[in-house]
Structures are given as structure tokens and as C-alpha cells.
A = this chain, B = another copy of it.
């Protein structure tokens, strides 16, 4: 029931996801009266779907604390509870992010060793695709938070992006060791010393995000959210200036017509819908947040992310990695003689 055009685009998106993932089955949680007419249009989807009825919804402006008190029987609450009970392999929502995180923590609990969930997403770079986290779940982060994000991002890059030896960098204002504030410096210190088989490359800067200098960019939720939206805004600026350039003369218009096919591929590559589906990492279960303003194609992509994470046993892999890390940190220091 969340997002700007639910439940219509959710069901249309689910039908696209069904075609891509023929083994997937769907539970639509929300108001049966609103869902049924849309579902009626997709007979093949209907055959692999059920409706879990509730008229309670969490609104876009509901505070997380209120969602926790009153939202357990809402469509979002029931959907997450279905993951907890194992009736669903994962949940996708285009609704209120804060509420999704709060209810996710309530029903699914954190993976032991992870203090806070992080929002992660992948994005295009000059060298392929990278993942960045946190994108807004945690406004202020300790060094421990950042270290945990690094480990979760590394598992994500291996399991969902399929990279064998993903590299990790911490976002900072310079590459030198002394740059930045205590949290980034302390986190870098821990990651440099860990004996886990991870590839920590040190600090990276804002322009390294799209350069693809590392596969996993680790940052606090404030900086990550600003960086993500700045990148989106810059792409929009560039795209708008390009549109104006192609309209500025007859030659340019003709040029556009000739290059249209190639430019269409460029547009598809940078299409925000392609990168829709932010993951809430650190919970005992798969929780994916779709952009509220996306369309059916974007929603289908978010569902695809959830299916990938569930199929790869993502939460379990993070749990194993964190266990090793926690054990390592708790082990007594070896004396150096």
C-alpha cells in the first residue's frame, strides 16, 4: 500500500518480476478491495499470488515511534511478520522508510554483532557497479557502525553483485590517514588490522564513488544520503543541459535523430529505475525499500533485488561473517616480542 501509485504499480511490477523469476510466488498485503481489481488484470500472476487482507496502513509521515506502537497489524507490519514466520522469503515496500526500519528491527531483530541496520544500494560506475552504504538509516555513526557496514557491504558485493574479491573504501575528504573525523579514522584502523580476508583499500573521496575506485563505499547515513541525492541531481542537470543542447539548433536536432538509438542506450544505463531497490542490511531477513515515486519497472527491479538476496541466503552469510569478526575481536591480543 506504500508509495505514490499503490497498489496499481506494485501489482504491475510484480507481474514483470514474475516473468523474470518464474519460480517466485507473491503475497500482496493490504486492502483486498483495492488490490483485487488490479490483480484481476494479470491472470498468470494471480495464479501464484495470494492476498493478505488488512485495511490498516502506515502513512508517509507516520513517525517510526508511532509505527512501532500502532503499526503491527498494518500492511507493512503484517508483511514483515510474514518474513519473521518464514511464510515469505523477503519483503519489498515503497512505503515509509523510517517505519520499515523500525518494524523490521522489531519483528526480525538485528543479526548478532550488528548494532544498527544500514541502507545500501548499488549504482553505475566507470568500471561497472558498486554498492554504497549507509544511505540514510543512521544520521550519526560510530567507528563500530562503519566497520559493521563495511563487512555487510562486502558480503553484499560478493553475493548479490557476484564479485569474487570486492574492495572496500571509507568515504572521506582525502586519502591520507590523518584526514577526516575520529569515526572514519578509527574504523579504518580496525579494518586495516583485521585478519578477515577482506580487501580494505583505505579512504576514498566523493569522485571515487562513480569512478568505481572500490566496490563497496562505506559512509554514515547523513553523508551517504547527501552523496546519493547529489549524484542523482547532477545526472538530472547534465541530462537537462544535454536536452537543451540538442534543441538549440537545426544541426543539433538532426544530430540527435541520428544518435538517438545510442543515446537511448545511455539513458537506459543511467535510468534510476534500474538501480531502484535499497536493501536494509543487518536484519534477520530480507527487507528491500523501493523508491516511492518509481513505476512498475522500477518496482519489478526492487523485487528482483529481494529475490536475489533471498536466493543467495544473504542474511545467513552476513551472520557467519560477523560471527568470525566478533570472535576475532574478542580473542586476547597476542603479545609481540
List chain A positions with a Cβ less than 8 A from chain B: 124-126, 136, 139-140, 171, 173, 180-181, 205-211, 219, 221-223, 225-242, 244-246, 248-249, 251-252, 254-263, 265-266, 269-270
Contacts and interface: CB of A to CB of B under 8 A. Distances in A.
Given A241-B269, A270-B238, A262 B233 contact: no
A241 B249 CA distance: 23
Given A181-B222, A226-B226, 8 more contacts: A210-B237, A219-B226, A227-B227, A227-B230, A231-B234, A241-B266, A251-B259, A255-B258
Contacts of A140: 181
Contacts of A209: 230, 233
Given A139-B181, A227-B227, A252 B261 contact: yes
B258 A173 contact: no
Nearest to A227: B230
How many identical subunits does the complex contain? Answer: 2
A230 B221 contact: no
A264 B1 CA distance: 47
B258 A221 contact: no
A contact face: mostly helix, strand, loop, or mixed:
helix
A229 B205 contact: yes
B255 A234 contact: no
A239 B239 CA distance: 10
A276 to B, nearest CB: 16
Given A206-B232, A231-B231, A252 B241 contact: no
B262 A259 contact: no
A199 to B, nearest CB: 21
A229 B206 contact: yes
Nearest to A254: B258
Contacts of A244: 266
Contacts of A207: 229-230, 232-233, 236
A252 B258 contact: yes
Contacts of A181: 139-140, 222
A245 B232 contact: no
B245 A226 contact: no
Contacts of A228: 206
Given A140-B181, A226-B223, A124 B237 contact: yes
Contacts of A242: 242, 266
A238 B270 CA distance: 8
